[in-house]
Amino acid sequence: MSPLVSIIMPAYNAEKTITESINSVLKQSFINFELIICDDVSLDKTPKIIESFLCDTRIKFIRSKTNVGPAISRNKCIEISSGRYLTFIDADDLWDNNFLESQISFINKKNASIVFSSYRRVNAANETVLRDFIVPSKVSLNDIYKSNSISCLTVFIDSELVSEINMPNVGIEDFGCWIKILKDIDYAYGNQDVLASYRILENSRSRNKFKLINKQWNTYRKVGKLNIVSSFIYLAFWAVNGYKKYR
């Protein structure tokens, strides 16, 4: 029997995109998965759309009682997950049909705790807006402090080899999670195959670096436990590399 993969999806006011995102999971060539969706008190039709998919018993649906944000939503899903492998997809992103199959093969080939892959960068209509982001072959903790090339959309984690998988509710939550994991291992490995599509929307926070500066700083200081000088140095690297990534 193939190992179970737990897929984590937070959702908030995603009625325009979540159907495509769920379908990209259901069309996977690897079928032994559970998709755990947490709705964070959406004000639109997102919950009804999710409910329409519940005929597939691989999908689990939980609802927050109050709006708690993506970090806590993801952690709620992680708490009830039961798969050996853990991966994440947001309610506006898309996987290629072979994403799970490819990442399982890759993580086993590398005998790794955590891997990630390259991805396309598209708009709401799935039209290319930036060239594909091709990831490095491997990254260390020092590398991601300078530029986080591990996307939440493509990360794939072996929960048997990672002591704790948890999104800190401070700073940039997914970046903080990778920091905690890479403090205990040497490298995360990058699959350079393009396996997913990341939607860059008009209000995408990943492109608005000025709004992100405070979150990035808090991640360095409160999650990475870096001193002020190191935080300033890495923040400078991050700003320059962020400009290069989205130019």
pLDDT at position 203, please?
59
Q: Is the model's pLDDT at 123 over the cut of 70?
A: yes
pLDDT tens digits for 1-27? Answer: 789 999 999 999 999 999 999 999 999
Mean pLDDT score, 179-200: 97
pLDDT tens digits for 99-112? Answer: 999 999 999 999 99
pLDDT at position 244, please?
81
Map out the domains of the chain with their CATH numbers.
5-203 (3.90.550.10)
Looking up tokens 């997809």 gives: 89
pLDDT at position 61, please?
98
Q: Is the model's pLDDT at 206 over the cut of 70?
A: no
Q: Is the model's pLDDT at 204 over the cut of 60?
A: no
Looking up tokens 């200081």 gives: 221
SS (H, E, C) the chain: CCCCEEEEEEECCCCCCHHHHHHHHHCCCCCCEEEEEEECCCCCCHHHHHHCCCCCCCEEEEECCCCCCHHHHHHHHHHHCCCCEEEECCCCCEECCCHHHHHHHHHHHHCCCEEEEEEEEECCCCCEEEEEECCCCEECHHHHHHCCCCCCCCCEEECCCCCCCCCCCCCCHHHHHHHHHHCCCCCEEEEEEEEEEEECCCCCCCCCHHHHHHHHHHHHHHHCCCCHHHHHHHHHHHHHHHHHHHC
pLDDT tens digits for 157-169? Answer: 999 999 899 999 9
Q: Note whether 168 and 70 are within 8 A (CB).
A: no
Mean pLDDT score, 76-104: 97
pLDDT at position 170, please?
94
